Amino acid sequence: MGTDPSNSFITKFHEELKQNMSSFPVKVGEIEGSGPFRKRYDSYFLDNNKWSLDKIGRIKQFRNMVKNSPTIRKNIKFEFKEPALNLEVKYIFYHRLFNNRWKVTTMFQSIQNPVRRLTEFMNEYKPDKKSFLQLDIKLTEEEYVLWLQKKGIKTKRLKRRQPPHNDVEFHTSVASILRMVYEELAKMANLEQPKEWKKDIWDVRNLHAAYGIEYNKTVSEYIIDFNRIVMPGVREEVKKYFKERLLSKHKFAWGTSKNYITVLSQFFRFIHKLNPKWRDIRGLKRHHIVKYIEYLHTYITKRKGEKSNPEMSVAKALVIVEKFIYDIQRYGYKIAPKIDVKYLLFPEDIPRSKRKSIHQIDYIPEFVLKQLFKHIKGLHPDVTAVIMIAYKTGLRVSDILTLKTNCLIKLNDQFWLEADIRKSNIIGHRIPIDEHLVEVIESVLERRRDIFNPDQFLFVKTKGNKKGEPINQTYIRAHLKAYAEQNHIEDESGRPFHFRTHQFRHTFAMKMLNGGADLLTVQDMMGHSYPESTLTYVKILDETKRHVFDSVIQKGEFGI
């Protein structure tokens, strides 16, 4: 089926939606989990354009959800002038509710403003449309976003990230609702969609399914938006470059591509301001790069501050730009500069990062650890388990959250934890663990019995539209932050202590070295590719030695 469906196709599609909405599944019995269910023939959701929270609360599987939801709305309305559009949007609500992809708080609260704005737009500008599938989605989305902006409604949001990571820009929910509705309906109708590479917005989940492109499932950064490349004539070439690099699977993972799009969109935006008529960068010269370097230093220092090590961010941006230009010249891209990159950007342009002192190694002091473990039972059991694994193995949280249910290995009556180290590309990495950690992991396994878990993750989401996927890193950080605030965890100076999940990895390395472990053993346990990474912690060991030596001197052991 093509992407411009006929009237007869739309009519048939709508009949299928009506048939599906003429009943709904109702849970049988009191057992928690995904079933069993029986079909109830009740066309309430089909017949009514006003849905009651009370009605949903009387459906068995939603009783507790409604009872525990802090929603202020008791009803939701579907108010498209065209009844067929009402049907389509109602079906999305119906489908997401009964497939456990939306909570009632989403339906009755957070999604309501985006739907209201979409309703206003469609009623005013597309009153003749009988289906969202009849829209030219790219053109209509541009019209919709412009309409929102004219009304003073925010269409972009910036996710601030700590250096050296780049900030990430997203569409707001009110701006993305049209695309969500269209794509959901297109999927339901089995419309043929363009290949992901031809789109201006790529979703790594689609690339993973089609081409095996790997990504970190513990962070919700699935999208690359090439609309951020503002220079005309360049966007398609940049997409081609990303496609070739991703398919090569050589030092260009999805996370790397996210960094590239942030830097390159900024670079092309800057060049476009200097030369608004350019449709490529063939005329790029040294003086353009000099101005860009000056801009980077000013912009990054102003936005992130001198204490954030701006040299690292500037260096990262310049390395990406240099690599991109080098590659497109080597590949013969038509947008590539005529001047060789080695005459555009010199090695001395890239600043050297400041070395961290021993006081900047981000580990958790013993004074803080005691406070953490004093009240740790107040944390959610999954969060507690993640923290204990990080503390006792040094694994990155991203690798912990993708542990499988068969991660416990017993050899010669002793237990090991088996994990895949994504950053170092190590499969089946084994770390010795103690009996306490074995008990922690076994308690997690006990809670994971008889739940939907197709990929057998140790830490898995049990509800919502991402049910069956690993728990998100943001979830762990949010719980840890709230826990620290509630229990007033402070450093020795009396200042609130701000936990970062990676601190547990640094703390593990420090404790191993201070406990007498040799450097090579710690390197292997940490999964470091190079010993230089592990040597960082030796500086902490030297400081510990200094404290021990000073205490001996103070006792007069070397008195003369």
What are the pLDDT digits (tens) for 449-486? 778 888 899 999 887 767 888 999 999 999 999 999 99
Map tokens 């999805």 to a residue. Answer: 254
Domain ranges for the chain: 5-188, 196-349, 366-551
Please tell me what DSSP assigns to residue 79. -
* Least confident piece of the model among 161-170, 300-309, 466-475, 517-526: 161-170
Q: Which two tokens stand for residue 332?
A: 């013969």
Q: Write out pLDDT tens, residues 352-368.
A: 866 555 555 678 889 99
Task: Report d(CA 475, CA 480) in Å as an integer.
Answer: 9
- Amino acid of residue 264: L
Average pLDDT rounded to a whole number, residues 135-162: 87
Average pLDDT rounded to a whole number, residues 526-547: 68
Residue 164: predicted pLDDT? 43
- Amino acid of residue 115: V
Residue 549's pLDDT band (cuts 50, 70, 90):
low
Q: Write out pLDDT tens, residues 437-453.
A: 999 999 999 988 778 88
Task: Report d(CA 266, CA 273) in Å as an integer.
Answer: 11
**Percent of the chain scoring above 90 in pLDDT:** 59
Map tokens 């009755």 to a residue. Answer: 108
Residue 1: predicted pLDDT? 38
CB 318 within 8 A of CB 296: yes
Assess whether pLDDT exceeds 50 at residue 55: yes
Map tokens 């690599």 to a residue. Answer: 323
Task: Report d(CA 75, CA 55) in Å as an integer.
Answer: 10
Q: Please give the mean pLDDT across all residues of the chain.
A: 87
Please tell me what DSSP assigns to residue 276. T
Residue 73: predicted pLDDT? 84
Assess whether pLDDT exceeds 50 at residue 31: no
**Percent of the chain scoring above 70 in pLDDT:** 87
Neighbours of 356 (CB within 10 A): 12
Residue 522's pLDDT band (cuts 50, 70, 90):
confident
First and final CA of the chain: distance in angstroms?
A: 94
- Amino acid of residue 214: E
Assess whether pLDDT exceeds 90 at residue 526: no
Task: Report d(CA 474, CA 451) in Å as an integer.
Answer: 22
Task: Report d(CA 301, CA 314) in Å as an integer.
Answer: 9
CB 381 within 8 A of CB 443: yes
Q: Closest Cα to residue 245, out of 333, 309, 178, 180?
A: 333
CA 379 to chain centre: 23
Return the SS3 of 491.
Answer: coil
Q: Closest Cα to residue 451, out of 32, 136, 150, 85?
A: 32
Q: Closest Cα to residue 220, out of 245, 265, 254, 247?
A: 254
Fold classification of 366-551 is hpI Integrase; Chain A (1.10.443)
Beta bridge partners of 156: 171
Assess whether pLDDT exceeds 60 at residue 163: no
CB 234 within 8 A of CB 279: yes
Residue 77's pLDDT band (cuts 50, 70, 90):
very high
Return the SS3 of 341.
Answer: helix
CB 200 within 8 A of CB 227: yes
Q: Write out pLDDT tens, residues 35-48.
A: 578 889 999 999 99
CB 201 within 8 A of CB 224: yes
